[in-house]
């Protein structure tokens, strides 16, 4: 497992993803540092709609240095590349068909869906449920996402004092230490049941797994900047970017040398005589004086 490096400050690196719930489309943006996430409803899932919603979030929290997404058409478009260049952030895409490489966004999507389902079952305002989540400490050592990101508690419907709502300085050194400890623990747990795959080199012959489960031949073209991510090319010229998990190494095709024919012998060929065993032989029937054939009774061999 290769976890993302813990950022130095809040909203420095964010992860984003799209998801669908009850027929509605949403976009989620999660801060790697504070685990604070925003999700907004999308009327359309085009690049222009995604960019507009993201601009609104960046105008609220600031422009991050890095945005991690999947390879969806909304994020792989020229419009999004232009948006990243104009707003001054680095756009990094995860390995296709490998959600674990954008794990923070995937976990945030599951949390958001769980909040929506719970609010729907309790007939409660989902945004109040989201407010409570943002105000809940991450664990016994870390404060809430809102406190880490904004330096203050958020006012909810629960009774509180003005002193508790006042902003205060966050010990970011301590926060980073605890976040790194959490990552280290998760990595150790994951690595217990995982094994490392050998690194591939340019020109290696491999087989790439397709969406239908088939493994087709390909050659490694280059290694991507992201860990364990490669670009491969099929014999037809199609290029794919895949995680190392979806690539199998195969021996390169070799030309078999011609083997000289064996010398023919002048001795006559001997035809083998088939041997019959006594067990397989069937006894001949007994013929009486009148010419009637009497077959022996069949016995059960135990």
Distances in whole angstroms, Cα of residue 129 to Cα of each of 111, 126, 164: 11, 5, 20
pLDDT over threshold 50, residue 34: yes
Return the CATH number of 205-249, one of 3.30.1370.60, 3.20.20.70, 2.30.30.140, 2.40.50.140: 2.30.30.140
Domain residue limits, the chain: 13-191, 205-249
Q: Which residues contact 226 (CB under 8 A, 6 or more apart)?
A: 92, 93, 94, 95, 101
Q: Which residues contact 107 (CB under 8 A, 6 or more apart)?
A: none
Q: Which of 178, 182, 208, 161 is nearest to 107 (CA)?
A: 182
Alpha carbon 207 to chain centroid, angstroms: 18
Q: Are strands 37-42 and 24-31 parallel, antiparallel or unpaired?
A: antiparallel
Mean pLDDT of 93-116: 83
- Whole-number pLDDT of residue 233: 77
Q: Do domains 13-191 and 205-249 have the same CATH topology?
A: no
Q: Which of 209, 282, 285 is nearest to 249 (CA)?
A: 209
- Whole-number pLDDT of residue 212: 73
pLDDT over threshold 80, residue 50: yes
- Whole-number pLDDT of residue 255: 40
Distance, CA of 197 to CA of 245 (rounded, Å)? 8
pLDDT over threshold 70, residue 100: no
The DSSP H or E segment spanning 204 is: none
- Whole-number pLDDT of residue 27: 97
pLDDT band at 2 (very low <50, low <70, confident <90, very high): low
Distance, CA of 19 to CA of 22 (rounded, Å)? 10
Highest mean pLDDT among 1-10, 52-61, 161-170, 274-283: 52-61
Topology (CATH) of 13-191: Nucleotidyltransferase; domain 5 (3.30.420)
- Whole-number pLDDT of residue 33: 95
Mean pLDDT of 50-62: 97
pLDDT over threshold 80, residue 109: yes
pLDDT over threshold 60, residue 163: yes
Mean pLDDT of 140-166: 93
Q: What percent of the chain has pLDDT over 90?
A: 49
Among 168-177, 187-196, 264-273, whose mean pLDDT is lowest? 264-273
Whole-number mean pLDDT of the chain? 81
pLDDT over threshold 70, residue 237: yes
């Amino acid at each position: 497992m290769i976890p993302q490096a813990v950022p130095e400050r809040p909203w420095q690196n964010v992860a984003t993803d799209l998801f669908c719930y009850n027929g509605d489309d949403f976009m989620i943006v999660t801060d790697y540092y504070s685990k604070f996430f925003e999700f907004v409803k999308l009327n359309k899932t085009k690049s222009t709609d995604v960019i507009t919603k993201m601009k609104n979030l960046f105008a609220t929290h600031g422009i991050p240095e890095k945005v991690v997404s999947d390879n969806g058409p909304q994020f792989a478009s020229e419009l999004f590349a232009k948006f990243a260049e104009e707003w001054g952030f680095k756009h990094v895409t995860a390995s296709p068909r490998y959600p674990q490489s954008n794990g923070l966004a995937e976990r945030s999507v599951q949390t958001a869906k769980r909040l929506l389902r719970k609010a729907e079952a309790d007939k409660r305002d989902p945004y109040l449920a989201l407010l409570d989540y943002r105000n809940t400490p991450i664990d016994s050592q870390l404060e809430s996402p809102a406190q880490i990101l904004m330096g203050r508690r958020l006012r909810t419907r629960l009774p509180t004092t003005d002193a508790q709502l006042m902003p205060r300085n966050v010990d970011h050194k301590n926060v980073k230490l605890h976040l790194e400890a959490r990552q280290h623990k998760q990595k150790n747990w994951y690595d217990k049941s995982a094994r490392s795959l050998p690194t591939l080199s340019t020109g290696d012959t491999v087989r790439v797994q397709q969406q239908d489960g088939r493994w087709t031949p390909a050659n490694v073209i280059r290694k991507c900047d992201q860990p364990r991510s490669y670009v491969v090319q099929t014999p037809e010229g199609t290029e794919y970017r895949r995680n190392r998990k979806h690539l199998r190494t195969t021996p390169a095709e070799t030309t078999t040398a011609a083997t000289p024919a064996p010398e023919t012998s002048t001795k006559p060929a001997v035809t083998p005589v088939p041997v019959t065993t006594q067990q397989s032989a069937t006894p001949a029937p007994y013929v009486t004086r009148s010419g009637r054939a009497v077959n022996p009774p069949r016995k059960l061999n135990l």
